[in-house]
Amino acid sequence: MRQLLDGMAQDLVAYQGLKDLLGRQFEAAIRHRTTELGTVAEAISTLVDELQARRQHRVALVQRLVGPAAGMLQAFALLKNAGRERMEADWKTLEQSVIECKRLSKRNSDLMVEQYSIMQRVLHGEEQIYAPA
């Protein structure tokens, strides 16, 4: 249970770092700083790999604690009131962080796709300048 709680605490910190990196990525994309984009992308990739490894470890811990078909709700039930309330609050915060990072990631992706599309039109022109009659 201690490993489960520690992993969640580490993820809470890591997701704040991911939010910061996604903010840096957005700023670098707006300002067309390709070198910084590469550096930030590498840092994001490393952090996401760490988060994924902890998630897999968390799933394994929960399965060991409460069974193969169980989830976090069953793990929460193993704790006394104060511990359970803290863990549930941390879990809710973690879920919100995941949702926010997904939103920021999509925003960044949409921006970069649009920038790429604009650059392709500038370099290669429109496919159809005139609408067919």
**Number of residues in the chain:** 133
Q: What pLDDT, on a 0 to 100 scale, did the predictor assign at position 123?
A: 80
Which residue segments constitute the domains of the chain, with CATH numbers given?
A: 2-122 (1.20.58.300)
- Between CA 42 and CA 5 the distance in angstroms is 28
pTM: 0.84
pLDDT of 124 reads 76
**pLDDT of the chain, 133 residues: tens digit per residue:** 889 989 999 999 999 999 999 999 999 999 999 999 999 999 999 999 999 999 999 999 999 989 888 888 888 888 888 888 989 999 999 999 999 999 999 999 999 999 888 888 778 776 665 556 5
- Specify the DSSP class assigned to residue 48: H
Classify burial at 39, counting beta carbons within 10 Å of its beta carbon; exposed 0-12, middle 13-18, buried 19 or more. Answer: middle
Q: Residue 85 and residue 2: Cα distance in Å, rounded?
A: 15
